[in-house]
Structure 1
């Protein structure tokens, strides 16, 4: 039978869907015949010399609970107990929303038992499962499932493991309440502690080696991609990673070790990883086979079918939930295999390795589809883990195929280089002739260069003599320029000294209290000069915004104002100073502060009004403001008796509208009666 199927696959691969349908019909027929012929007892019998026992559909009975409301006490009542049917007679597709299955298992312990027995359920994708070890109470029940975190399981194992309490020479009835959103099986095995520990070591050791091989291949191909730059290696890495995600979701190791506290994520990975595998497999296979270059029209159809199938699978997973979405995988995978077959027929050897590598994968996928359909005829340890073994073989074969492909590319490159060498030889002969002609031209050029060199030498000697003459003249000019520079620096020094002396004289006049308003205006000639001086005095230690504390600024609209670059707050030069909101000329305000300060506050408002040509009330109010500022300045910790009068300008707490203090009224009366003569 196998040679016939092999011949049928190699020469009629375009009939792959028909072959799959035929195989499914044969399997269904064999399953029906086996089920009809098997008649086993409902009671499982365990003995002291027995270490494990397979639990098939004929060893347990099932009761469908469409409402999901039955309790342990209800299913033990006669009207419900009579409804239990042997497991091989009940379909386990669970298509009814909210439907539960009650599973009844009878175990009899014959003779004394020196080891504990455990029920190991193979299907790790059952959404909700409750195990009741005691018939009379639900107190010791275990409630877990794929929809619950791994911590709800008494044993942190990828499958569901329950301990059975057995008494010698007694029959025990165990109930399990199960619900699954997909087709499932209730196959399990009874094991004692010793074979269970051996099984754990063997199973996890093999799975660890399997995932170790996948990790090595990922790292190896990533290194090849980094050194060679061939994109096929990167696509193969994506394919291996998506396959690893499928395996982690299928065998339950992902839920056990990677996301044990996130059952929703586990369901998402179970549903989405096959779709991701389809995308990465097509993405890798098309480039590995060079499909866009070898079969461009068929490749565009393959790409379109893959995208449409992916969209349909996402739609079915998110909204429809038909349970038949795996049929949508057959068309794109079949088209990709047919693509590889056609390219192999055209003489591309790596395509043959591709077909060989995926032959075992296709068989293992067939076993997976049978399990998804609820057909458990071929369900055993070998078929369950056949995909892992097939994928390891695929990894080895595809790695060799990638090497063959690179070798083929290298051979083509060598052939192209040989053709290029022949062309280069022809060009070399022409280049030899050209070199001979260039040699003759070089001789003529050397003769001409010799003649030119003699002429250049004569001309160079003439230029040298002229250069010596010019150098002598330049030295004379440099000496003259040095003398002029000394004279200029002396004149400039004299001008600087005169200006400094003049400024010191003016400043001395101002500080001597014997300066009139005209002389004072020469130092502060206009409003701009006053604002420049006031801004420099105010921000002598740097700018800092009063709103946000930022130290960066730019010029504001008003002259000499500053705007914060962060909060856009604008502060003028007079803000928070003695001259804030001053209603008369800032030059007169400067002079008024100077007069009052230099006379230590003993300057009458009538005299100030006459000198500044202002109303006496205005002068009196401003005098009060200056006096308060002087008083606060004397009380400051950093006050110096010999400090300049301009420090009073920075007072920001005084206000012209404030009432004078009680202790200052007599001082103002005495001041108003005095006049200071300039």
Structure 2
């Protein structure tokens, strides 16, 4: 039952992480109008593909289809022409966004490609501070005059995958999209960092190497995703052009090294499958070589090899996990599920980078969604592995100690029983010594100790305390008329009635002696009046049976309310309450009298 509940809670947690998918899937990535309608704006896109030695006149313009925005890895120059017409009667402000932050060089010309025309020189090879609008993507403002065709040229040359996802934004809608998108980023990157820090903390406690390589993998994945989203260039290293140019390939390689190091330790490949262990070590060596090569070899070559390595690593990891699981290694379950999810959803991203799939919501965010699910599942896998190891160690220890426990159990049981008996007796003796046997209330001895403690506390915190002395009216005559047993029954009934009249757990009622009782509570004068009158009224209405007779009694109360100072003592407070009690008796009994003079 416990295991069922535990597994259910894990799946609930995983499903919670899937909620952001709904948010992400509502974010459009296809090039189109954003916030404006076709009745307001009409546009057409054309493009040319040039070799570095060619000029613009060497090729003809071709129509760019709506989903044709990914052109793979190429050293060619792409020039795009945007013809846009404002069909309305008013000038419309727009934002032109090229939503791919990894472009090396992006030159945007207004009107024509002449040097004298308005030009924006963008790209991740330029300092971030040069951008007109500080955004992770490339964004420029424009004002479209009514009934006029505006022409913009976009010249792209890059060593990364060539993509041209152009969006024409209404500025208000653009900023709303940014808010929603950054909400997703906050959830995704925050979760990834929390998972990394949490498991790093566990590693520092258990020193299990798989946790360390898991952290390396998660941090590399997080930084890789931040880099390809343009967030690291925007917030972390906006002036470091060289590092920004190689960071993507660097994190891809460290991510793959972390993957293989993690699976070697987590799946215990050295013992479970020596051949896969050797293959993983070769993959680690290749990853390390590529990590070093990122500082030497041009980016376009490293990233292509990195894309192939990423795909092959996922396939190897998936095959390794299922093979080890098939061989009976139970801890591989979550590992297999995690990599299955990532391979399925991440495949589209790889296909997009190499130009086999157009840029879409699936290719744009599938890796983030898949990696988020994967790191959660891998964390589950680590937790299950640690629990399994703990249970195995526990069973081994239990087996080693079983003989010793057999010899010690009887003695321990006897000692425990005897200790428990003594504790019960001590508690009973302690309780008996503090309890009045007739009424079941606390006795005078307990009252004196409790009064002293409460007095010191109220003196320290300047809190008021209320002390009430209660006496059953004409109790001697009642005793003489009905006998001592009836008197005992009367004391018990009154004691119970006083107890139920007190509503706060901290209030105390004790038998002071004979037919006298004492009530101590922390309240001011107004509260003391209510409590005292409630006790008096309840006793006045009390009826108890004795030998088929209905008996009634009343009580008189003397009350003192005081915020004690250093000169006060319990003897002074009791004396003041006693004086007030005598005044109640002298005034006719069955009433409450407050001590009016200053206690001293």
Which interval holds the TM-score relative to the shorter structure?
A: 0.5 to 0.7
Using the TM superposition, give the Cα deviation of residue 259 of structure 1 relative to its aligned residue in structure 2, in angstroms. Answer: 0.6
Using the TM superposition, give the Cα deviation of residue 161 of structure 1 relative to its aligned residue in structure 2, in angstroms. Answer: 0.8
Task: Identify the residue that residue 324 of structure 2 maps to in structure 1.
Answer: 343
**Could you say what secondary structure the match of 1:349 adopts?**
coil
Task: Identify the residue that residue 130 of structure 2 maps to in structure 1.
Answer: 152
How many residue pairs get matched? 374
CA contact (8 A) 2:108 2:153 kept: yes
CA contact (8 A) 2:317 2:339 kept: no
Task: Identify the residue that residue 15 of structure 1 maps to in structure 2.
Answer: none
Using the TM superposition, give the Cα deviation of residue 210 of structure 1 relative to its aligned residue in structure 2, in angstroms. Answer: 1.1
CA contact (8 A) 1:54 1:188 kept: no
Task: Identify the residue that residue 123 of structure 1 maps to in structure 2.
Answer: 100
Verify: 1:363 aligned to 2:344, yes or no: yes
Question: Relative to 1, partners in 2 of residues 1:341 and 1:117: Cα closer, same or farther, differing over 3 Å?
Answer: same
CA contact (8 A) 2:107 2:156 kept: yes
Using the TM superposition, give the Cα deviation of residue 406 of structure 1 relative to its aligned residue in structure 2, in angstroms. Answer: 1.3
Question: Relative to total residues, which structure has the larger strand share, 1 or 2?
Answer: 2
Task: Identify the residue that residue 384 of structure 1 maps to in structure 2.
Answer: 364
Equivalence map 1:103-252=2 (5 Å)? 103-113=80-90, 115-135=92-112, 138-252=116-230
Q: Aligned partners of 2:78, 2:262: CA distance in 1, in Å?
A: 42
Task: Identify the residue that residue 395 of structure 2 maps to in structure 1.
Answer: 415
**Could you say what secondary structure the match of 1:118 adopts?**
strand
Equivalence map 1:498-577=2 (5 Å)? none
Moved more, 384-393 or 300-309: 300-309
Question: Relative to total residues, which structure has the larger helix share, 1 or 2?
Answer: 1
The TM-score with structure 1 as length reference comes to: 0.51
CA contact (8 A) 1:46 1:110 kept: no
Q: Aligned partners of 1:341, 1:214: CA distance in 2, in Å?
A: 25
Task: Identify the residue that residue 379 of structure 2 maps to in structure 1.
Answer: 399
Measured on the aligned residues, the alpha-carbon RMSD in Å equals: 3.2
Question: Relative to 1, partners in 2 of residues 1:91 and 1:353: Cα closer, same or farther, differing over 3 Å?
Answer: closer
Q: Aligned partners of 1:196, 1:174: CA distance in 2, in Å?
A: 20
Using the TM superposition, give the Cα deviation of residue 255 of structure 1 relative to its aligned residue in structure 2, in angstroms. Answer: 0.6
CA deviation vs aligned residue, 1:373-427 (integer Å, no higher than 9, x gap) = 11343x2234311211212211221222212111111221222123213343578
Question: Relative to 1, partners in 2 of residues 1:245 and 1:62: Cα closer, same or farther, differing over 3 Å?
Answer: same
Equivalence map 1:268-287=2 (5 Å)? 268-287=246-265
Using the TM superposition, give the Cα deviation of residue 344 of structure 1 relative to its aligned residue in structure 2, in angstroms. Answer: 1.0
Question: Relative to 1, partners in 2 of residues 1:223 and 1:183: Cα closer, same or farther, differing over 3 Å?
Answer: closer
Residue 95 of structure 1: which of 49, 74, 85 is its match? Answer: 74
Q: Aligned partners of 2:34, 2:84: CA distance in 1, in Å?
A: 7
CA contact (8 A) 1:46 1:107 kept: no
Using the TM superposition, give the Cα deviation of residue 367 of structure 1 relative to its aligned residue in structure 2, in angstroms. Answer: 1.4
Residue 238 of structure 2: which of 236, 242, 260 is its match? Answer: 260
Question: Relative to 1, partners in 2 of residues 1:101 and 1:208: Cα closer, same or farther, differing over 3 Å?
Answer: same
Q: Aligned partners of 1:52, 1:306: CA distance in 2, in Å?
A: 56
Q: Aligned partners of 2:42, 2:320: CA distance in 1, in Å?
A: 43
Question: Relative to 1, partners in 2 of residues 1:155 and 1:398: Cα closer, same or farther, differing over 3 Å?
Answer: same
Structure number with bigger Rg: 1
The TM-score with structure 2 as length reference comes to: 0.57
Task: Structure 2: state its 5+ residue gaps.
Answer: 1-30, 410-600
Question: Relative to 1, partners in 2 of residues 1:48 and 1:149: Cα closer, same or farther, differing over 3 Å?
Answer: closer
**Could you say what secondary structure the match of 2:118 adopts?**
coil
Moved more, 104-113 or 201-210: 104-113
Q: Which has the higher contact order (CA 8 A, sep 6+)?
A: 2
Using the TM superposition, give the Cα deviation of residue 215 of structure 1 relative to its aligned residue in structure 2, in angstroms. Answer: 1.8
Q: Aligned partners of 1:403, 1:312: CA distance in 2, in Å?
A: 32
Question: Relative to 1, partners in 2 of residues 1:427 and 1:252: Cα closer, same or farther, differing over 3 Å?
Answer: same
Using the TM superposition, give the Cα deviation of residue 90 of structure 1 relative to its aligned residue in structure 2, in angstroms. Answer: 10
Question: Relative to 1, partners in 2 of residues 1:298 and 1:189: Cα closer, same or farther, differing over 3 Å?
Answer: same
CA contact (8 A) 1:47 1:111 kept: no
